[in-house]
Amino acid sequence: MSIVAVGSVAFDTIASPSGKVEGVLGGAATYFALAASYFTDVRVVAIVGEDFTAEHENVLKKRGVDTRGIEHAKGKTFRWGGQYLGNLNEAKTDFTDLNVFQNFQPHIPSHYQDSQFLFLANIQPDLQAMVRREMKTVRLTGGDTMNYWINNARKQLAETLKLVDVLLINDTEAKSLAGETNLPRAALKVLAMGPQALVIKHGEYGATIFFREGAYGIGRHPFRAPALPIEEVKDPTGAGDSFAGGFMGYIASQGELSREVLKRALFYGGVMGSFAVERFGTERLQSLTREEIDARFQIFRELTHLE
């Protein structure tokens, strides 16, 4: 089943203890689409500038990603620069040049309307809501946000959360959104805002999924999936978006929406995030095989005794 991913395509300049790269292909929609493409059909809605060439687009096309929803505009593509020299868990932003992304207005192609899954990457909440209302037939909508929108567009975000089935955010964002310092209490408050399930990403410590009472099954007991220990992390950029791609991609590949499917999807999210950090930019996600993915998933099973 197809997923529509709406978000950014960007060029990143990244510095970490492993080195520095300039102008590598990145962006939330790019990481998500490449990760999800190993599980299901992916369609992208984004905007790029004149510096986004056919070679860049072919990175997505080689993975079978439908790029007809990418708008080409005059100007430069969104560019971001950051460094992880002090802490691999947190990027220090050097610059953010929105360029054509500043005026991004998502346009959903008519042939995307039959998609049953939707992922709203980190963009303005009112744009996320607009897309969700336009996509009337989706079975499950995943969404992301960030502290900037939590702090500066809370009213619009509150309306968007009513339209999202699964929200994927990190610990800090969850606590900030709920106004709570205790994570389980924060999760319950976020679920009360609309989502049926909440995935909280803990970086190198894995992820936890919380369910609203009665959503996708009985009860609301959370489930925790650990992260896979990685010997060398070269570039954490896009790990969260890659996690979301693996998580949503696996769900879309299954015939049912159940609590067990969503729990298993956490592990595939962790698998894709663990691959993403092994190289700079999207390089590792471009060259994977499904056999490598399944082998790493098996390691997760052995670590956790997952049935």
CATH number where 17 lies: 3.40.1190.20
Q: Quick one: pLDDT band at residue 68, thresholds 50, 70, 90?
A: very high
* pLDDT score recorded for residue 215: 73
Task: Name the domain count of the chain.
Answer: 1
pLDDT at 214: 72
Answer yes or no: is pLDDT of 218 > 60.
no
SS3 content of the chain, % helix, strand, coil (to 5): 40, 25, 35
Does the model's pTM come out above 0.75? Answer: yes
Among 16-20, 186-190, 303-307, the range scoring the smallest mean pLDDT is 303-307
Is pLDDT above 70 for 219? no
Domain that holds residue 107: 3-304
Please report, as a single letter, which amino acid is at residue 72: H
Q: What is the pLDDT of residues 241-293, one digit of tens each?
A: 999 999 999 999 998 899 999 999 999 999 999 999 999 999 999 999 999 99
CA distance 86 to 250: 34
Tell me the DSSP string of 243-258: HHHHHHHHHHHSS---
- Tens of pLDDT, residue by residue over 84-126, are 987 787 888 999 999 999 999 999 999 999 999 999 999 999 9
- Over residues 33-66, the pLDDT tens digits come to 999 999 999 999 999 999 999 999 999 999 999 9
Is a pLDDT exceeding 80 seen at residue 235? yes
pLDDT at position 213 is 79
pLDDT score, position 85: 84
Length of the chain: 307
Nearest to 117 by CA among 164, 157, 160, 63: 164
Band of the pLDDT at 69, cuts 50, 70, 90?
Answer: very high
Q: Predicted confidence band at 217 (pLDDT cuts at 50, 70, 90)?
A: low
Give the residue from 170, 238, 236 showing the smallest Cα distance to 9: 238
Alpha-carbon distance of 18 to 260, in angstroms, equals 38
Closest CA to 140 of 170, 174, 163: 163
Residue 228 binned pLDDT confidence (cut-offs 50, 70, 90)? confident
Flag whether pLDDT at 300 surpasses 90. Answer: no
**DSSP states along 157-200:** HHHHHTT-SEEEEEHHHHHHHHT-SSHHHHHHHHHHTS-SEEEE
Calpha distance 67→50 (Å, rounded)? 16
Which residues in 222-258 are b (16+ Cβ under 10 Å) and which e?
A: eeebbbbeeeebbbbbbbbbbbbbbbbbbbbbbeebe
Beta carbons within 8 Å of 29's beta carbon, 6+ residues apart: 5, 6, 7, 8, 9, 44, 45, 46, 121, 241
